[in-house]
């Protein structure tokens, strides 16, 4: 087990037109589950390749505990990796693929033959591929191959696991089960795990600590609770949470906050002063999560604004209602039983304490707590 520390990592691929990573620093604490969350192309796989030693860094350094491993061969790092793209050995069976890491020359005497066989079977059963041990990779579906790749990483107990979107190609039900399994394995073994995903819900539910990454840079580091409740900027606020946070450009006018040029909202003096001093008079972006919008009957002392319902998406017990207010689109999430119908006009309101505020120019959070 080890702490992973990345210091100012930069990477541009030969022939690549973009900077894949820019000055990326983070620390995965020893024994913790760290999620790297970001959209496609953000630099997640690149980060994993650099830590594993499968790509060279341009600038910066990588430490396992206090040991600088930046220029070590992959085999000398004692890290196990599962790539999203599987990279299985095509000419050998699933059993042999799973056993391969245990037979590496470096670790020849770490396990007895019986222990290796038992571990392969144990991990295969846990991942639901125990029936597939004699097959070749080409005889498997994408989801089955992905589980073999994951098993090949988990079969050993290295200093750290690097799991690159390890369950992205499983169907929804299996993915849900595997999330639970992975969290359990990680907690049982206490092995430092760096896990990448584009799925915000997956990151929020698995991580002890996480980073949101975009265009090769870190947007925010924090616990899932901090990332969700105090998003550092507009990007994080919109990327984390589903459906995305509603955002309204707003101006201060005397004691009022004029939201989206439509809704006049009298705000407490201390909030007004704080927003005025932090926003340089240029206005603020007000963010409100779809779950925090309410139908107007529920809070009576707050201003009400009218919106008309364009579309209702029923998700079992909750529904997402898409609305327009003048030309501004917004979404609300509420119990299906209470959801208005398409074409209805509804009165909406919200509690100003549940709003998030961002500088219009820099898009950074203005903390009001």
Q: Which residues here bind Mg ion, judged by CB under 5 A?
A: 44-45
Is residue 354 a contact partner of residue 292, using CB atoms and an 8 Å limit? yes
Q: What's the DSSP call for residue 75?
A: G
SS3 (DSSP) at 36: strand
Smallest distance, Å, CB 48 to ligand ADP? 8
Residue 51 or residue 259: which is nearer to Mg ion going by CB?
A: 51
Smallest distance, Å, CB 11 to ligand ADP? 8
Is residue 335 a contact partner of residue 317, using CB atoms and an 8 Å limit? yes
- Which residue's entry shows tokens 């509690």? 351
Measured between alpha carbons, how far apart are the two ends of the chain, in Å? 38
The alpha carbon of 112 is separated from its chain's Cα centroid by a whole number of angstroms, namely: 39
Smallest distance, Å, CB 43 to ligand ADP? 4
Task: Find which of ligand ADP, Mg ion, none residue 41 binds, CB within 5 to 8 Å per kind.
Answer: ligand ADP
Residue 202 or residue 359: which is nearer to ligand ADP going by CB?
A: 202
* Cα 83 from Cα 121, distance rounded (Å): 21
Residue 17 or residue 173: which is nearer to ligand ADP going by CB?
A: 17
SS3 (DSSP) at 294: strand
Tokens of 88: 């299985």
Smallest distance, Å, CB 47 to ligand ADP? 7
Name the site residues for ligand ADP (rule: CB under 6 A): 13, 15-16, 18, 20, 38, 40-46
Smallest distance, Å, CB 40 to ligand ADP? 4
Residue 236 or residue 348: which is nearer to ligand ADP going by CB?
A: 236
Task: Find which of Mg ion, ligand ADP, none residue 43 binds, CB within 5 to 8 Å per kind.
Answer: ligand ADP
Residue 37 or residue 312: which is nearer to ligand ADP going by CB?
A: 37
Residue sitting closest to Mg ion (CB): 45
Smallest distance, Å, CB 84 to Mg ion? 6
- DSSP β-bridge partners for residue 341: none
* CA nearest neighbour of 123 among 144, 152, 102, 92: 152
Task: Find which of Mg ion, ligand ADP, none residue 20 binds, CB within 5 to 8 Å per kind.
Answer: ligand ADP
- Which residue's entry shows tokens 């079977």? 121
* CA nearest neighbour of 197 among 187, 69, 178, 349: 178
Task: Find which of ligand ADP, Mg ion, none residue 269 binds, CB within 5 to 8 Å per kind.
Answer: none
């Amino acid at each position: 087990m080890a702490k992973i520390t990345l210091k100012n990592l930069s990477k541009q691929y030969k022939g690549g037109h973009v900077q894949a990573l820019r000055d990326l620093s983070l620390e995965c604490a020893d024994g913790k589950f760290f999620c790297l969350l970001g959209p496609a192309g953000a630099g997640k796989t690149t980060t994993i390749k650099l830590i594993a030693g499968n790509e060279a860094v341009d600038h910066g350094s990588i430490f396992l505990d206090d040991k600088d491993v930046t220029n070590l061969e992959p085999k000398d790092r004692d890290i196990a990796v599962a790539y999203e793209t599987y990279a299985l050995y095509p000419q050998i069976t699933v059993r042999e693929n799973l056993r391969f890491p245990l037979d590496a020359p470096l670790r020849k005497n770490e396990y007895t033959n019986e222990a290796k066989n038992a571990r392969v079977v144990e991990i295969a059963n846990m991942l639901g591929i125990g029936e597939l041990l004699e097959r070749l990779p080409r005889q498997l579906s994408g989801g089955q191959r992905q589980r073999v790749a994951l098993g090949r990483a988990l079969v050993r107990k290295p200093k750290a696991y690097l799991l690159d979107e390890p369950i992205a190609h499983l169907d929804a039900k299996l993915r849900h089960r595997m999330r639970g399994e992975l969290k359990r394995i990680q907690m049982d073994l206490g092995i430092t795990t760096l896990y990448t995903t584009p799925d915000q819900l997956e990151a929020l539910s698995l991580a002890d600590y996480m980073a949101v990454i975009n265009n090769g840079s870190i947007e925010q580091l924090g616990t899932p609770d901090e990332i969700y409740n105090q998003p550092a900027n507009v990007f994080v606020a919109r990327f984390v949470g589903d459906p995305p946070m509603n955002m309204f450009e707003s101006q201060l006018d005397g004691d009022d906050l004029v939201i989206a040029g439509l809704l006049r909202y009298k705000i407490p003096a201390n909030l007004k002063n704080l927003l005025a001093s932090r926003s340089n008079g240029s206005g603020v972006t007000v963010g409100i999560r779809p779950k925090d919008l309410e139908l107007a009957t529920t809070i009576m002392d707050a201003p009400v604004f009218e919106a008309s319902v364009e579309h209702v998406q029923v998700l079992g017990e909750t529904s997402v209602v898409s609305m327009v207010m003048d030309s501004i689109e917004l979404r609300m999430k509420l119990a299906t039983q209470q959801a208005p119908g398409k074409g209805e006009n509804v009165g909406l309101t919200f509690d100003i304490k549940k709003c998030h505020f961002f500088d219009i120019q820099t898009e950074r959070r203005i903390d009001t707590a």
